[in-house]
Structure 1
């Protein structure tokens, strides 16, 4: 795993934490969730900027957003009581398949 992959992983996790806290911030009216949201997004973009030093922008963004979508959907399902029906699960499966294809077959990423 390269430094770019580490930065990308941190960016993804920070974005998921920030998005999770965003709902709890209630329109930035609650201080602690609002702070977690702001710091999480700042850290996510900082780490994403370092990722872009060696992974092409389109590929990095596809991985960041794809994995982020799947993880935030899992957070919503597990902790926020949101339901995922069959079409949602199918769509998430396709996103996961896309991330796997990019990671396994793309020559744009250095492993």
Structure 2
């Protein structure tokens, strides 16, 4: 009968989660969520304006201690209507406009179970 000793290395998660393979996985999933959000974003007209919601959704991947991915919606400070579309809003006359929930739907479609 042999004895096995388990030795844990402190900080092993950081070493594993900062590898290029993990970066590829994070990049794939973040790009997929961004693609789903762009597909389901509401359209205002047939024109592709500079401030359309679809043109202001992008994916970003950075390395802090581990690879970190995020979908950025409207980084341009002059464009802010995507979150109004997502949550719903009241116009100047006080009429309520319902939420579209297109971002929530994109996250739910990309969910892994």
- Does the TM-score normalized on the shorter chain lie above 0.5? no
- Which protein is bigger by CA-based radius of gyration? 2
Query: Quick one: higher RCO (CA 8 Å, sep 6+), 1 or 2?
Result: 1
What is the TM-score of this pair, normalised by structure 2? 0.28
TM norm structure 1: 0.28
Q: Would you tell me which structure has more helix in proportion to its own residues?
A: 1
Structure ranking higher in strand proportion: 2
